[in-house]
């Protein structure tokens, strides 16, 4: 059974306690959105993605197959930076 939106938000909260979870949404294509956390400051895109994989997706295991794109931003960053 795929992870629910609440389970994905809980996994993100455990991994990144300061994260803003308001931008994590469920769509027809799965769960995705933007994680804003101080932990991403100073990291490049590949390092941020690795953190998300290690701390959120791997712990969810196969239940996380419905999780799509999770953008990682530090506070005050935008997707266009």
Question: What is the span of the domain harbouring residue 18?
Answer: 5-73
% of the chain with per-residue pLDDT over 90: 88
**pLDDT value of position 10:** 96
Q: Could you tell me if residue 22 is inside a domain?
A: yes
Q: d(Cα 75, Cα 60) in Å, to the nearest integer? A: 25
Report the candidate in 50, 48, 55 with the shortest Cα–Cα distance to residue 71: 48
Q: How many domains does the chain have?
A: 1
Q: In angstroms, rounded to a whole number, what is the distance separating the alpha carbons of residues 23 and 11?
A: 15
Position 52 in a domain: yes
Q: What is the mean pLDDT of residues 46-74?
A: 96
């Amino acid at each position: 059974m795929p992870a629910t939106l609440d389970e994905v938000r809980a996994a993100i909260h455990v991994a990144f306690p300061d994260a803003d979870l308001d931008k994590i949404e469920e769509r027809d294509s799965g769960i995705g959105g933007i994680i804003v956390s101080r932990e991403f400051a100073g990291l490049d895109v590949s390092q941020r993605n690795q953190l998300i994989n290690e701390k959120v997706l791997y712990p969810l295991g196969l239940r996380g197959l419905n999780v799509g794109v999770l953008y990682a931003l530090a506070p005050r960053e935008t997707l266009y930076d």
